[in-house]
Structure formats: C-alpha cells, structure tokens
Structure 1
Amino acid sequence: MDNSTDPVEISALALNVAVPEDLQWTDVRRGEEFRLMSVTVRLLADGSLAAKAYGRPTAGGRGSYTSFPVPDDPGIGALIDAAASQAAQLWASNRGLR
C-alpha cells in the first residue's frame, strides 16, 4: 500500500538541550536535591512548546530519572527558544534516513 499521499500524523517532536553551567539550577524532589543540567523540549502538534528539566543529585550518584518544571527565567527561556530555532533548521535540512 502506497501511503505517500496520506498525511502523516505527528504528535510531537523532541530535542534535548544541555543547560550551560551558568544557567543550571537546583530543585528538591522527595527530600533529595538535584542539579538540573538538561532540558527536554517538545514541539507539540499545535505548535506550542513543552519543557521538562532533568539532572543529577547534588550528593552524587545516579539518582532517578525524575522530571522537574522549568523555571520562568529569561535565560532559560532564551536557551529554549534558540534550541527550538536551531532544531527547526536541522530538521529542514535533513538528508533523509541513511
């Protein structure tokens, strides 16, 4: 069956962004402090962005894979905007599956 003319349903696109050291922050979950060092950004089907932060326990160790809200910080917002713009350029210039 040729699906080349059928629309493809995409629910979201995601990218992972490393947070520069000067923009990293800490947050506490279940009594454990985490240093947040990456943000996963999702482009939703309606064009809006959703973001969650991830990191490591400040006491060391691997810790659990726990998401945190992204703070309303101008520097973090600018980082997410720049990452989304760069990702759009990368997607637009993709060379297909290899």
Structure 2
Amino acid sequence: MTISNSGAPDEVDVSALAINVAIPESLQWHDSRRGEEFVLLTLNIRLLPDGHVAAKAYGRPVAGGRGGYTSFRVPDRPELADLIAAAATRASALWSAHRGLQ
C-alpha cells in the first residue's frame, strides 16, 4: 500500500465484503442438520474477488432453542436469486453513498 500526499492510502486491500439480509417470511424454508430441523431466516452474502456473489443461509431450530451457528446451502430458486441480487445492489448503493466515519 502506498500513501498519497494527502495521507490517504492509494490502494487498500479489502479482505471481505459481506452483508446479512433477512429472508422475507414468504421465501423462508426448512432444512435439517444432524437430525434437527431449522427454519432459514437470514442470508449472508459475500462479494467474491471475481465480482460474483456467494450466499449461505442461517436460521434457528424449529423446535426452539438457540442451536448452533450452522450454514445451509441456498436452494436454486429464482426468487431467492432475485433477493440476493437485489440485496447486493442495495448494499452497493448504500456503500457508495457512505458519509465517512462518525
């Protein structure tokens, strides 16, 4: 990294860009892991180095309790792909409009 005359870095090595997105109730689904059924409520969407995005789903046990922090594959459904794309686009707009450190 080099520093410009203003003291700001010319290049910054950003190691991760990820957002968490609530899954609307109409798009939520159930999956199971180690004999326990989960309802999937949240997507974690990451921007990959090549510009594509990847997503994992997280949720809570249907029977109640906390359960482990376990990721699930996102099903190949057009409406979930649309949610992921819309969330990535919205996050991009929010990041580009940031107002600096408070």
The structure that has the greater radius of gyration is 2
Q: 1:10, 1:45 within 8 Å by CA — same for their partners in 2? A: no
* TM-score normalised according to structure 2 size: 0.90
Gaps of 5+ in 1: none
* TM-score normalised according to structure 1 size: 0.93
**What CA RMSD, in Å, does the superposition of the two structures yield over aligned residues?**
1.2
Q: 1:36, 1:55 within 8 Å by CA — same for their partners in 2? A: yes
Gaps of 5+ in 2: none
Structure 1 runs of 4+ with >6 Å offset: none
Are 2:34 and 1:30 equivalent residues in the alignment?
A: yes
Taking the aligned partners of 1:72 and 1:9, their CA distance within structure 2 comes to 32
RCO (CA 8 Å, sep 6+): is it higher in 1 or 2? 1
Identity %: 61
Matches within 5 A, 1:1-98: 3=3, 4-98=8-102
